[in-house]
A and B are shown apart, each in its own frame.
Chain A
Amino acid sequence: MNSRRPAFRHPDLPKNDLGYTRRDYEGGDSTLCAGCGHDSITNGIIQACFELSIEPHRVAKLSGIGCSSKTPAYFLNKSHGFNTVHGRMPAIATGANMANRDLLYIGVSGDGDTASIGMGQFVHVARRNLNMVYIVMNNGCYGLTKGQDSATADKGSSSRKGRPNPFEAIDLCEMAVQLGAGFVARGFSGDKEQLVPLLKAAILHKGFALVDVISPCVTFNNTETSTKSYHWVRDHMEASGTFDFIPERQEITARYEEGATQSVALHDGTVIHLHKSDNAFDVTQRRAAINALEDHREKGQILTGILHINETLQDTHDILETTDKPLNALTQEELCPGNQTLQQIFETYR
């Protein structure tokens, strides 16, 4: 028996600026295990795109292989999509982005897809600062292949298989900061109140935006002894602070206490106001971010929220000085300007 989700929706669903409801951002029915954190992130993506009034046809979804990488089938079914090979999503995203810089690129990957087989691709797409949102649905295991420990599993954590993981864990956020990513954040699938704003900020950021979302695998890695279980994450989660958005067109009316708030203007003019928690640090500073991550790791805590943001960086197109017009929109004349132009170029070398 496989249940189909009924076609009916709540008749009072709110509409966004485009007149769309959440329904216009939905995808097909999920085939993941019941209770999988990935489904929650899927719904977080739907909500974020809905709230930002993103036009679905302006989005390209890309993914690798894994349960996590299956999720693009479950959201934005009116968008473009490419389900690539294991660990190779960044390469395809890079190619697509080079060809058409005008789309919003949402990459979805898993901890296996990113931190094991795809590690080489991940580090390079980060250091090139490709303009994309890179979401890791991080469950500390290879869900699709029945729950083997992944490279993000914490040392000593054990999954349903029961053997504590003997290896050091990779912290993708810390790596991304080190690699020069302009936006790095961590969320939890079980906390949409935090996750949706994180995804929105990542979408608005220009350049590489990593959102590492801890996403319990209910079937293989939700045990008492796992540090990626619902219970463990809830008990050990520590937020860097809360924040809110002031979109470009809106006047700033709220008044914030001096020192308690840090404001960052995003590329499109939106301003993020970060309300710091007690153990606050300057999120615009790489060193501060890495220190904060290390401090929390030592205490056995998981630091969540916006970890690092730098709006001054150049993205791949800026660095490579490509044309403003998407390459795929260039006409024959623009691409092959003819013999006369070629002669002029030759002239400059004479």
Chain B
Amino acid sequence: MNPTDLNDPEYFHRVIDCQFACPAHTPVPEYIRLIAEKKYAEAYMINWESNVFPGILGRVCDRPCEPACRRGRVEDKAVAICRLKRVCADNKGDVTHLLPGPSREKNGKRIALIGGGPASLTVARDLLPLGYSVDLYDDQIEAGGFVRSQVPSFRLPKKVLDEEVNIILNMGVVTHLNTYISSMKAFLTKGYDAVFVGTGAPRGRDLDLPGRQDAKAFVHIGIEWLAGVQYGHTQKTGKTTLVIGGGNTAMDCCRTARRLGGDNVKIIIRGARENMKASPWEIEDAIREDIPILEHLSPGEFVMAGDRLKGVTFQRMQGGKTDPETVFIPCDEVLLAVGQQNAFPWIEKDSGLTFDDKGRPRVDETTFQSDLDHVFFGGDAAFGPKNVITAVAHGHEAALSIDLFCNGKDLKKRPGPLTLLAGQKMGPRDWMYHSQVSDEVRQKVPMVSKVKSIKDRLMEVELGFNPKIGFKEALRCLNCDIQTVFTVDECIECDACVDVCPTTCINFIKNADEGDLRSRLLVPAKNNSQPLYVSDLLPTGRVMVKDEDLCLHCGLCAERCPTAAWDMQKYNYNPAKAGQK
């Protein structure tokens, strides 16, 4: 293998598993260390810069970082990254003085945002400080998009949502709420310099089965029903409610139903439980609220008794095949959570945009530009329903594109990330970070009692970590951003680092191609998603090869190295943002 090129900004980025997995590349270990130091406001601001909604995401994020977390490979449970984010949001105090105010000088460019969800709000947040005028259009009465209309308050209190949405609105957004945009062509005549479409994926799939029309008063599309509950239009559900579907929307439907008088709520899925789309923790929460999951059932017919719903028939599925046996499940109400789609009835065919067979506009995956060069898409509207953090990441990239576009620059020539490698040594065996690896197991989140929380759909179920538990959990972080940096000329090949490394990462062996090297290491390197760090040739004709996969970033190699050939250096990685030169 060729020696590792540390000038490649992605090399060490890959080693920071959580940050790499986070769509917005939040510097996770950096803010976790600040939490351990009780610097909650600073930790909050690092989050706010990257992911815009720390308080919201600290509760409802899909957390792609956690399955990626190194700790989950070293022991069984990842660091509770998401819960720690909430710790800094809950304890930050007043941060107004740290937030950017409205820009004093306008640059004369006008930007329109259609849709008021996280994607649009991120674009606004990134462009306002640069002097842009930003108009936001949304058909709801308040901004926030699906996070407001869909995500139940027992998971995300309105107060937290309002606070973080208002931070952005107060930066100078001109809102046009309660305003449905019904024609793209007409809208484009308003003459905005750029238009960002962040209208989400607002259409829930229906099930066109026998009896659907007759049962229409008792069968609801999940996302419409959830919005009705959030806005207070729907206040009750049937005693026995069936939720059909196995994704996160289904989990929100069933838990909401439990709080609206559904004493007997069941989830029905076509496949097996282990293949459910919903996040494991959401499934856990549903089960905790006494909601059973019935597997391998495919819905057949809605059966009425007079003008009331009697129940639903299902076909049992076994090994992908339908069993002739029919199962009848009596119920009073049904919620359908079987998928969500994009829909752009308001964009005319001849508006200049092209659509694929899924009805989605053609959008460039890095620039988020559409076929109309001043129209950009992002969030669920661009590539189908995902989650808040992905919408935020799209928002950042789209804002960067819009800024390049408005300055007449090439959108493909995007500025690179800002990176910095900084030494951490304070003295012998003394680092600027807490290098000791904690043996603590993942901390449990305290929750409100079930009896209490089922009675009130507005009561937040999770209480969050208090600062003490948060501190314990924060110390579990392995500081994967503190990198081991090797200087080949200093090494005397004494083996001290090889011997001390607790997880057998370091090897001195004859060079070869990657596959061969991986198989010949002291412990073969099987995780191909983590790189091998390879040095130049050493005096004995060997090379140093470090498998980054299970490095604990404990710093012992650097402490035991007599010549400081190993050093621990903090790697900062910040993706380019709008306005960056």
Task: Give A1-58 interface residues, CB cut-off 8 Å to B.
Answer: 1-14, 30, 33-37, 39-40, 42-43
Number of interface residues of A (CB under 8 A): 33
B492 and A231 form a contact (CB under 8 A):
yes
A35 and B492 form a contact (CB under 8 A):
yes
Given A8-B75, A234-B540, also A40-B496 (CB < 8 A): yes
Q: Quick check: is A190 within 8 A (CB to CB) of the other chain? A: yes
Residues from chain A with Cβ under 8 Å of B285 in the complex: none
| Residue of B74, B559, B560 contacting most chain A CB atoms (<10 Å) | B560
Given A5-B556, A35-B560, also A43-B499 (CB < 8 A): yes
B435 and A3 form a contact (CB under 8 A):
yes
Q: Quick check: is B228 within 8 A (CB to CB) of the other chain? A: no
Contact check: which of B539, B550, B556 meets A3 at CB < 8 Å? B556
Given A8-B502, A40-B499, A192-B495, also A13-B523 (CB < 8 A): yes
Query: Would you call the interface of chain B mostly helix, strand, loop, or mixed?
Result: loop
A34 and B560 form a contact (CB under 8 A):
yes
Contact count A vs B, C-beta below 8 Å: 97
Residues from chain A with Cβ under 8 Å of B502 in the complex: 5-9
Q: Quick check: is A87 within 8 A (CB to CB) of the other chain? A: no
Task: Give B434-475 interface residues, CB cut-off 8 Å to A.
Answer: 435-437, 439
CB A107 to nearest CB in B, in angstroms, measures: 21
| Residue of A13, A39, A192 contacting most chain B CB atoms (<10 Å) | A39
Task: Give B470-500 interface residues, CB cut-off 8 Å to A.
Answer: 492-496, 498-500
Residues from chain A with Cβ under 8 Å of B492 in the complex: 35, 222, 230-231
Q: Quick check: is B503 within 8 A (CB to CB) of the other chain? A: yes
B552-580 CB contact bits vs A (8 Å, 1 = yes)? 10111001111100000000000000000
Residues from chain A with Cβ under 8 Å of B74 in the complex: 8, 11
CB A56 to nearest CB in B, in angstroms, measures: 19
Q: Quick check: is A216 within 8 A (CB to CB) of the other chain? A: yes
A34 and B439 form a contact (CB under 8 A):
no
What is the interface residue range for chain B against chain A? 35 or more
Q: Quick check: is B504 within 8 A (CB to CB) of the other chain? A: yes
Residues from chain B with Cβ under 8 Å of A222 in the complex: 492, 562
Residues from chain A with Cβ under 8 Å of B563 in the complex: 35
A4 to B559, CA, bound (A): 11
Residues from chain A with Cβ under 8 Å of B429 in the complex: 1-3
Residues from chain A with Cβ under 8 Å of B73 in the complex: 11
A230 and B493 form a contact (CB under 8 A):
yes
A34 and B561 form a contact (CB under 8 A):
yes
6 A-B pairs with the lowest CB-CB distances in the bound complex, closest first? A35-B562, A6-B437, A43-B499, A218-B562, A34-B560, A1-B429
- Besides A1-B428, A35-B560, 16 more A-B contacts (Cβ < 8 Å) are A3-B559, A5-B500, A6-B556, A8-B503, A9-B503, A11-B74, A11-B550, A33-B562, A34-B559, A34-B561, A35-B496, A36-B562, A40-B499, A192-B495, A230-B494, A234-B540
For this complex, 26 residue pairs linking A to B, each with C-beta atoms less than 8 Å apart, are A2-B429, A3-B436, A3-B556, A4-B436, A7-B437, A10-B504, A10-B523, A12-B523, A12-B524, A13-B523, A30-B500, A34-B559, A34-B560, A35-B560, A35-B561, A35-B562, A39-B499, A39-B500, A39-B560, A40-B494, A43-B499, A192-B495, A218-B494, A222-B492, A230-B492, A230-B493
Chain B residues close to A by CB (< 8 Å): 73-75, 427-430, 435-437, 439, 492-496, 498-500, 502-504, 523-524, 526, 539-540, 550, 552, 554-556, 559-563
